[in-house]
């Protein structure tokens, strides 16, 4: 069965309109928030600028994205919404990646596409209009390196979740690089996750 | 005041907008992980960055919102709108019962960040609602027609430390 991205996006859009009495959005096993991308970009790039060691700051931001992808999609995978809406579409492990990416699109993270999956070995995701790349260019101009720390981490987190040794120990078994980024002037952003070198 | 919130929340292609401003859906894992990363790495400067980022984004967001709703004119209705927008965004419940142009107190009995922090990391030793503090400062600056940074918001009690509710004190900076 083909993955119906529109159906997944519609489920997220409808579900994200649910508020419980505490003003919180419980959806897909996690608590969701709607926050301006300006906020996320300000704290990511602000942190990078303030840190003594920019490389270390970059790593921490990627790690935050990776843990986000790993824990968020673990919660999503174990939710009743996933069982009801998404599971009927899934035939292979790799189908799950396409569904995860559909949810990421629904979350407003960018126009994402699974470019290549080699089971257990490699995942390549490409993105247009990542809010991180756009936000960086708007605030600072063209970058000299990739700036999509969250999406880079999420790409590795998806591999951890599907091909790692088991939740919750398998986070960071994979690592991702951003090989192209629109913030640098590339035509799209590209993330490649492979087994981490320990 | 009758705001059609679902109408304000729109998808244009792959982008999400709330009242014409781009937003993203993120879950508590990411939001609180970012907070912890900034606090651990930068200490008080990290907390300040969270506060200021939230203040700037809520200032921009609420300014845009009011421009689209010129019929919302009174302070009372603007405060009500701020409170409902906080709730609509899944950020929790916020009550502006004792607030004025010189400051006052704001109470939040529930919030995304408190629920998320407690679920993810457990009890804190010190108040940790930096996002909410900045958010309050930003919207109040808009409502009282002041500049960013006009109000200073401190958290006197915090549910992350297992207080009954979060209590914010607003003063003129």
CA distance linking residue A179 with residue A186, whole number of Å: 10
Is B52 in Cβ contact with A61 (below 8 Å)?
Answer: no
- Quote the domain boundaries for residue A36: 5-195
Mean model confidence pLDDT for chain A: 92
The residue among B15, B25, B43 with the most chain A CBs within 10 A of its CB, best to mutate, is B25
**Residue B22 resides in a domain:** no
CA distance linking residue B19 with residue A154, whole number of Å: 28
Question: H-type helices in A16-144, by residue range?
Answer: 37-50, 54-77, 80-81, 93-106, 131-140
**Residue B136 resides in a domain:** yes
Q: Percent of chain A, pLDDT > 90?
A: 69
Does residue A115 have a pLDDT over 70? yes
Find chain B residues with C-beta within 8 A of A102's C-beta: none
Does residue A40 have a pLDDT over 80? yes
* CATH number for the domain harbouring residue A176: 3.30.1380.20
Q: Which two tokens mark B41?
A: 């790495």
- Quote the domain boundaries for residue B38: 29-172
Find chain B residues with C-beta within 8 A of A43's C-beta: 34, 38, 49-50, 53
**Residue B85 resides in a domain:** yes
**Residue B77 resides in a domain:** yes
* CATH number for the domain harbouring residue B165: 3.30.1380.20
Find chain B residues with C-beta within 8 A of A20's C-beta: none
What mean pLDDT is predicted for residues B82-107? 95
State the pLDDT at residue B20: 83
CA distance linking residue B40 with residue A191, whole number of Å: 27
**Residue B102 resides in a domain:** yes
> Using CB atoms, which residue from B26, B45, B93 is nearest to A33?
B26
Does residue B1 have a pLDDT over 80? no
Q: Percent of chain B, pLDDT > 70?
A: 98
State the pLDDT at residue A16: 67
User: B144: Cβ–Cβ under 8 A, 6 or more apart, which residues?
Assistant: B75, B101, B150, B151
State the pLDDT at residue B14: 83
Q: What is the least distance, in Å, from the CA of B170 to any CA of chain A?
A: 21
**Residue B12 resides in a domain:** no
For the complex shown, is ipTM > 0.90? yes
State the pLDDT at residue B135: 98
Q: Which two tokens mark B36?
A: 């912890």
Is A33 in Cβ contact with B25 (below 8 Å)?
Answer: yes
Structural domain count, chain B: 1
Q: Which of A137, A135, A133 is nearest to A147 (CA)?
A: A133
Residue A182 CB neighbours (<10 A)? 25
Structural domain count, chain A: 1
**Residue B16 resides in a domain:** no
Looking only at the bridges linking them, the beta strands covering A174-180 and A122-128 are: unpaired
For A65-112, the pLDDT digits (tens) are 999 999 989 988 888 888 888 888 899 989 999 999 999 998 999 999
**Residue B43 resides in a domain:** yes
**Residue of higher predicted confidence among B128 and A10:** B128
Question: H-type helices in B15-124, by residue range?
Answer: 28-42, 44-68, 75-88, 112-120
For A174-196, the pLDDT digits (tens) are 999 999 999 999 999 999 999 99
Region of residue A186 (phi > 0: left; psi between -120 and 50: alpha; otherwise: beta): beta
CA distance linking residue A54 with residue A60, whole number of Å: 10
Q: What is the pTM of this model?
A: 0.94
**Residue of higher predicted confidence among B85 and B7:** B85
């Amino acid at each position: 069965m083909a993955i119906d991205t529109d159906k997944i996006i519609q489920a997220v859009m409808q579900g994200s309109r649910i508020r419980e009495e505490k003003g919180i959005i419980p959806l897909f096993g996690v608590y969701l928030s709607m926050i301006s991308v300006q906020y996320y970009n300000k704290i990511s790039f602000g942190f990078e600028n303030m840190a003594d060691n920019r490389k270390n700051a970059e790593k921490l931001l990627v790690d935050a994205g990776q843990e986000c992808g790993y824990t968020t999609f673990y919660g999503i995978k174990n939710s009743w919404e996933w069982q009801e809406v998404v599971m009927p579409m899934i035939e292979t492990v790799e189908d799950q990646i396409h569904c995860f990416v559909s949810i990421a699109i629904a979350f407003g993270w960018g126009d994402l596409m699974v470019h290549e999956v080699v089971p257990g070995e490699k995942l390549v995701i490409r993105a247009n209009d990542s809010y991180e790349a756009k936000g960086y260019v708007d605030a600072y101009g063209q970058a000299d390196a990739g700036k999509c720390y969250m999406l880079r981490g999420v790409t590795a987190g998806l591999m951890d979740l599907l091909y790692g040794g088991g939740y919750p120990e398998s986070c960071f078994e994979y690592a991702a690089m951003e090989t192209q980024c629109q913030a640098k002037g590339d035509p799209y952003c590209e993330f490649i996750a492979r087994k981490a070198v320990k | 005041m009758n705001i059609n919130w679902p109408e304000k929340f729109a998808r244009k292609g792959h982008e999400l907008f709330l009242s014409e401003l781009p937003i993203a859906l993120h879950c508590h894992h990411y939001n609180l992980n970012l907070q912890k990363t900034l606090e651990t790495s930068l200490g008080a400067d990290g907390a300040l960055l969270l506060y200021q980022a939230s203040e700037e984004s809520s200032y921009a967001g609420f300014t845009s919102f009011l421009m689209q709703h010129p019929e919302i004119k009174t302070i009372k209705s603007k405060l009500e709108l701020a409170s409902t927008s906080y709730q609509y965004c899944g950020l929790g419940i916020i009550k502006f019962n004792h607030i004025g142009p010189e400051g006052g107190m704001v109470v939040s009995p529930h919030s995304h960040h408190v629920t998320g922090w407690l679920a993810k990391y457990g009890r804190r030793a010190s108040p940790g609602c930096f996002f909410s503090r900045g958010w309050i400062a930003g919207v109040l600056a808009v409502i009282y027609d002041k500049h960013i940074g006009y109000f200073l918001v401190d958290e006197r009690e915090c549910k992350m430390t297992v207080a009954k509710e979060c209590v914010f004190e607003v003063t003129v900076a």
